[in-house]
Amino acid sequence: MTIPDGQTLADVGEFALIAELAGLFPQGEHVLVGPGDDAAVLRVRTGHVVVSTDLLVEGRHFRRDWASAEDVGHRAAAQNLSDVNAMGGTAHSLTIGLAAPPDLPASWAVDFAKGFAAECALVGASVVGGDLARASEIVIAVTVIGACTQAPVLRSGAQPGQVVALRGRQGWAAGGLAVLGRGFRSPRVLVEAYRRPEPPYDAGPAAAAAGATAMIDVSDGLVADAGHVARDSGVAIDLHRDAFDIPEPLQAVAAATGSDPMALVLGGGEDHPLLAAFAPAAVPDGWTVVGDVREGEGVTVDGAEYDGPTGWVHF
């Protein structure tokens, strides 16, 4: 079935839309029963099963005038796949709940599914089920299931004397959000970073194999998420400004808005890099040491309390 242009969700109907969307999601060999039954059935792989759930709410986490449906699909998948990555695992299965107004163009839902499927394909994960419901605004709920072949890397294992290192870009999505919030569309590279993050999907399992003792997906903000590691590990973390190279697009946005580019790096979220604690000699190639782990509590920047924005808060 191909949905005609101009059809809304109400025109198409729930079950016809489900059939259309299900056809967009290829199934991996681990899927014994995929979309269409009361529940999916998966073949459990050897190792630890890891599960995470995230929500995206229109107007809170995305705006349709700032991002296409495919962009939102990529973002919804990326933030969940990255959570499994941060445990040192690899995602293999996801479910999607989509609630939306009846007058939403059906093509939006189809394009969202295409973006979601394309992001899942980067790690070989399958969409194995989901649900549709009517709502006054778009709400997306995603659950991801993955596996760790070794013990999962938690937030609670950082130890004094270690270093913290970052893998992936940081502050780019925050720069894009700042640009969009002022009604502009450039620097385009930052806008695209906001619309479609690029988590380092291969880095989580590699960090676990290299001996990372704590790890987190930086989704809310670097200072905020480093704070989660510090609190759960019972340590202090000091971040070093001079460890970060500020790319030219972030410098341009900061200059245009009269702000500090380091605020985008330290407080920005939604790029989904990984922050991990390692013994100093165990940091893998491709990671940048950005701080150290000390006795104490909380997060400092260059040894002092940081008074800038630390990251996203929901309430």
Using alpha carbons, select from 305, 304, 219, 309 the residue that is nearest to residue 260. Answer: 309
In a domain, 313, yes or no: no
Asked if 143 and 113 sit in the same domain, the reply is yes
Number of structural domains found in the chain:
2
Give the number of residues written for the chain. Answer: 315
CB 165 within 8 A of CB 275: yes
Burial readout 119-153 (b: 16 or more C-beta within 10 A, e: otherwise): bbebbebbbbbbebeeeeebbbbbbbbbbbeeebb
| Cis peptide preceding 205, ω within 30 of 0 | no
Give the CATH number for residue 133: 3.30.1330.10
Q: Which domain holds residue 276?
A: 163-305
Asked if 250 and 176 sit in the same domain, the reply is yes
* Pairwise CA distance, residues 79 & 91, whole Å: 12
Binding region for ATP: 130-131, 155, 219
pLDDT of residue 313: 59
Q: What φ, ψ does residue 33 adopt, rounded to 5°?
A: -135, 120
Asked if 179 and 297 sit in the same domain, the reply is yes
Asked if 25 and 111 sit in the same domain, the reply is yes
In a domain, 204, yes or no: yes
Asked if 120 and 80 sit in the same domain, the reply is yes
The three-state (H, E, C) secondary structure of 66-128, written as one string: CCCHHHHHHHHHHHHHHHHHCCCCEEEEEEEEEEECCCCEHHHHHHHHHHHHHHHHCCCCEEE
Asked if 101 and 53 sit in the same domain, the reply is yes
Asked if 189 and 105 sit in the same domain, the reply is no
Asked if 39 and 84 sit in the same domain, the reply is yes
Burial readout 279-294 (b: 16 or more C-beta within 10 A, e: otherwise): eeebbbeebeebbbbb
Asked if 40 and 144 sit in the same domain, the reply is yes
Asked if 207 and 295 sit in the same domain, the reply is yes
Binding region for Mg(2+): 38, 52-54, 83, 131, 217, 220
Binding region for substrate: 61, 270, 312
Give the CATH number for residue 197: 3.90.650.10
The pTM of the full predicted model, rounded to 2 decimals, is: 0.90
> Structure tokens of 205?
């399992």
In a domain, 250, yes or no: yes
Asked if 129 and 185 sit in the same domain, the reply is no
pLDDT averaged per 10 residues in sequence order, the chain, 315 residues: 82 82 85 76 82 94 96 98 96 97 96 98 96 96 94 96 98 94 92 97 97 97 97 98 95 88 94 98 97 98 91 63
Instruction: Please list, in sequence order, all residues whose beta carbon lies within 8 angstroms of the beta carbon of residue 92, skipping any fewer than 6 positions away.
Output: 28, 30, 42, 45, 124, 125, 126, 145, 146, 147
pLDDT of residue 39: 72
Q: Find residue 278's DSSP bridge partners.
A: 163
In a domain, 312, yes or no: no
Binding region: 38, 52-54, 61, 83, 130-131, 155, 217, 219-220, 270, 312
